Structure 1
Amino acid sequence: MLNVGDKVVYPMHGAGVIEGIEECEVMGKSKNYYILMMPFGGMKVMIPMDNVENIGLREVITASDVEKVVEVFKNEPEQTTGSWNRRFNANLLKIKSGSIYDVAEVVRNLILQDRSKKISTGERRLLDTAKQILVSELVFACDKDASTVEAWVYDLLDKNTPGD
């Protein structure tokens, strides 16, 4: 059971804080909703409490789990084959999974791919989304601001040179 004040991740949107629990009537039925404040963009999201498992809402990773994210950035990028839209769909599925490790893989793969061979506009938008989701969670997990976390991610990737 999640509580007010908990830091959670909403797949495809990023991390936020549960600000409250409200009862709302929708189509004649009364339901309880978590009110989630998303720091990036200042968006408020209402999530039905009885649908949390299906949505994939989960708590932010712990500080000790951050090391596993670092390992993802140190690993070799996946060599994807096929057209850009096949890569796009595979990356989109990883982001939708809600796993920070999958999102970190997408960020790593797309940034490193963009350095060697420019990525498509669609993949660039996907990278921006994945980066926002990743950074939003790491901000809470590391207790740092967004620009510091993003610089740290790029620093880790600068050290990831395939073949080293």
Structure 2
Amino acid sequence: MAKPKTEFAVNQKIVYPSQGVGKITEIFKKDFNNEPTFYYKIYLEVSDMNVMVPVSKAKDLGIRAIVSKEEAKAALNSISEDFEPPTSDWKLRYQMNLDLLKKGTISDIAAIVRCLYHRSKVKELPILERKLYDNAKKLLEDEIAEALGISDKEVEAMLHEKLEPLGLRIEKKPAFTDEDEDEDEYEEDSSSSEKDSDDFSSEDDD
């Protein structure tokens, strides 16, 4: 079986949606269901884990190259742009942002950070949304750092500069709304369903 033409090369940095920035460390052939299949071996630094992804499935999983400097700067600048405030129904807001996270473009990740930062200044985020915000912010910082060739700390400071004026423009609302009544129950349901919805993500090769 001849080696297929691959979109990514060994030692290339990529983005694996919901997982973060990774590095292609190997492209190899392995039998799967008695069929020879080519795989990418990807090292994910944020979780210190190696995963194997079939070359033919990489596009379906949203795996992509690191964005250009221009795209990274555009995503960073979009944080401070005016936008429609997010819905107060946190379950709907959570699902919308989770869908964006799975799509995994840098503009989608920036939109999640902006949306949830905005909401956090109105009312403290539920636990699931807080985790989603932290995850999206880390993904954004890591990719922008790679694209611009700077440190995560520098990007974190740049993000803070974009987010802080946004927070100052937001008027605080009452701490309780009807939409938040069943927060805890929803978090329990979502936590269990989240575990079942991981794509191909964590196939450790060890």
Question: What is aligned with 1:151?
Answer: 157
**Contact 1:14–1:136, Cα closer than 8 Å, also in 2:** yes
Equivalenced residue count is: 163
Pairing 1:36–2:42 present: yes
Q: Secondary structure at the match of 1:55?
A: coil
Farther off after superposition, 45-54 or 84-93? 45-54
Match of 1:60 in 2: 66
What is the one-letter code of the residue matched to 1:42? D
1:117 and 2:91 equivalent? no
1:27 to 28, 33, 38: 33
How far, CA to CA, are the matches of 1:45 and 1:77 in structure 2? 37
2:138 — aligned with what?
132
Task: Tell me, in whole angstroms, the C-alpha distance in 2 between the residues paired with 1:113 and 1:81.
Answer: 9
User: Aligned pair 1:142/2:159, yes or no?
Assistant: no
C-alpha RMSD over aligned residues? 1.6
User: More strand by proportion, 1 or 2?
Assistant: 1
User: 2:77 maps to which residue?
Assistant: 71
Equivalent-residue separation in structure 1 for 2:135 and 2:84 (angstroms): 19
The runs of 4+ residues in structure 1 deviating greater than 6 Å are none
Aligned to 1:80: 86
TM-score w.r.t. the length of structure 1 is 0.91
Deviation at 1:82, TM superposition (A): 4.5
**What are the Cα deviations for residues 55-104 of structure 1, in whole angstroms up to 9, with x where unaligned?**
11111011121221123112124312242111000000111111110110
Larger radius of gyration: 2
Sequence identity percentage: 28
72-81 or 113-122: which moved more?
A: 72-81
**Normalising by structure 2, what TM-score?**
0.73
Unmatched 5+ stretches in structure 2:
1-6, 171-206
Q: What is the one-letter code of the residue matched to 2:13?
A: K
- The answer for the alignment partner of 2:54 in structure 1 is 48
Using the alignment, how far apart are the partners of 1:80 and 1:73 within structure 2? 14
Report the AA paired with residue 136 of structure 1. Answer: D
Deviation at 1:41, TM superposition (A): 2.2
Aligned to 1:96: 102
User: For residue 38 of structure 2, what is the amino acid of its counterpart?
Assistant: N
Shift of 1:149: 1.6
